Amino acid sequence: MAGGGAVRLDLDGQAIQPLTICMVGAGGFIGSHLCEKLMAETSHRVLAVDVYNDKIKHLLGSDLPWSGRIEFHRLNIKHDSRLEGLIKMADLTINLAAICTPADYNTRPLDTIYSNFIDALPVVKICSENNKRLIHFSTCEVYGKTAGSFLPQGHPLRNDADFYVLKEDASPCIFGPIEKQRWSYACAKQLIERLIYAEGAENGLEFTIVRPFNWIGPRMDFIPGIDGPSEGVPRVLACFSNNLLRREPLKLVDGGQSQRTFVYIKDAIEAVLLMIENPARANGQIFNVGNPNNEVTVKQLAEIMTEVYSKVTGEAPLEVPTIDVSSKEFYGEGYDDSDRRIPDMTIINRQLGWNPKTSLWDLLDSTLTYQHKTYSQAVKLAMANPVASS
């Protein structure tokens, strides 16, 4: 039964029937939090598909209260015919699988395009052909750059929300030139969104598309040299956490002037659960999921993380807490950046009544407390013994 055993009601007051969910990419950052929520608070069953399970191992034991409701299937969706059987067994498929770290978009553009378009295709097709509902994870990056970024500095329209607030049903998707391979990811995600939308329109596929706006929290990515490749470049939360753990300056790419809105993973997972349990309100929709109140430049993010981490550890920050690096030096040729990403929340608010709750300070406080507890000893050991750890 559900955590607490109570009958769950949907937003229209109807009892929610237990579902079987095929979750592809369940072993990643978002998947691990979604599995945790589904096990602790609902009666739904999860067929968890991934090539890794490190981040959900704590949910898989046979002695846990939800034992039997989550099964791990280690398979690579690129080439495994078992996927079809799992999707057919489920009421709903959630596809999270992707290469989604920006350092890969310009350095591994082929893998990025295959992962985000070609490998996602069979999932869409199997769902469509078998009348199975699909929740597909896209990205806010499909919006690309804001219209406002093409206006001259100081132009009054730059301050007009129409030029920078991103709306699912109105904003254009603006990418850089092909040689800026950064956009390989956004373009592949946009094409799979269009395909899903077309399957909905022409073949009746019941779908929901999610566009996450920088969801962050514990278990995001990896700490280079500790639980990931020592030369690997994760997303900004893990890059800055790694710098803080090692007491080295945080690297600001091109001065850290780009802006982002960050939402706490636990808030965002509430939104996904509403989509799962309210199909009539979520089907056929594309949802921005982010926190427009948590907007900062990357430089400000670095400053806040430095302050929060100092509070968590009781250690004074470095005298020079940040350094500037060029994007070419940090990411290599072909990098480009989204200038600003503010999600318009009208649609998710209207359909599901969802609002994010957690402030940037609070979400960084709990996340950096987790990072410190999880990694500080291992980082100290690795730094004391660099040969062994490499």
Binding site for ligand UDP (CB under 6 A): 102, 141, 214, 235-236, 239, 251-253, 256, 258, 260, 298, 337
CB of 256 to ligand UDP, least distance (A): 5
Mark the segment that binds ligand NAD (CB under 6 A) among 44-52, 127-135, 159-167, 366-374: 44-52
CB of 370 to ligand UDP, least distance (A): 17
- State the binding partner of 58 from ligand UDP, ligand NAD, none, CB within 5 to 8 A by kind: none
- State the binding partner of 261 from ligand NAD, ligand UDP, none, CB within 5 to 8 A by kind: none
Tell me: does residue 77 bind ligand NAD (CB under 6 A): yes
CB of 273 to ligand UDP, least distance (A): 24
Q: How would you write the chain as a 3-class SS string?
A: CCCCCCCCECCCCCECCCCEEEEECCCCHHHHHHHHHHHHHCCCEEEEEECCCHHHHHHCCCCCCCCCCEEEEECCCCCCCHHHHHHHHCCEEEECCCCCCHHHHHHCHHHHHHHHHHCCHHHHHHHHHCCCEEEEECCHHHHECCHHHHCCCCCHHHHCHHHCEECCCCCCCECCCCCCCCHHHHHHHHHHHHHHHHHHHHHCCCEEEEEECCEECCCCCCCECCCECCCCCCCHHHHHHHHHHCCCCEEEEHHHCCEEECEEHHHHHHHHHHHHHCHHHHCCEEEEECCCCCEEEHHHHHHHHHHHHHHHHCCCCCCCCEEEECHHHHHCCCCCCCCCCEECCHHHHHHHCCCCCCCHHHHHHHHHHHHHHHHHHHHHHHHHCHHHHC
With CB under 6 A as the contact rule, the residue among 23, 27, 182, 354 that binds ligand NAD is: 27
By annotation, the residues acting in catalysis are 185
With CB under 6 A as the contact rule, the residue among 1, 51, 110, 121 that binds ligand NAD is: 51
With CB under 6 A as the contact rule, the residue among 36, 104, 119, 193 that binds ligand NAD is: 119
Residue (75 or 325) nearer to ligand UDP, CB: 325
Mark the segment that binds ligand NAD (CB under 6 A) among 47-55, 153-161, 200-208, 343-351: 47-55
CB of 109 to ligand UDP, least distance (A): 15
Tell me: does residue 287 bind ligand NAD (CB under 6 A): no
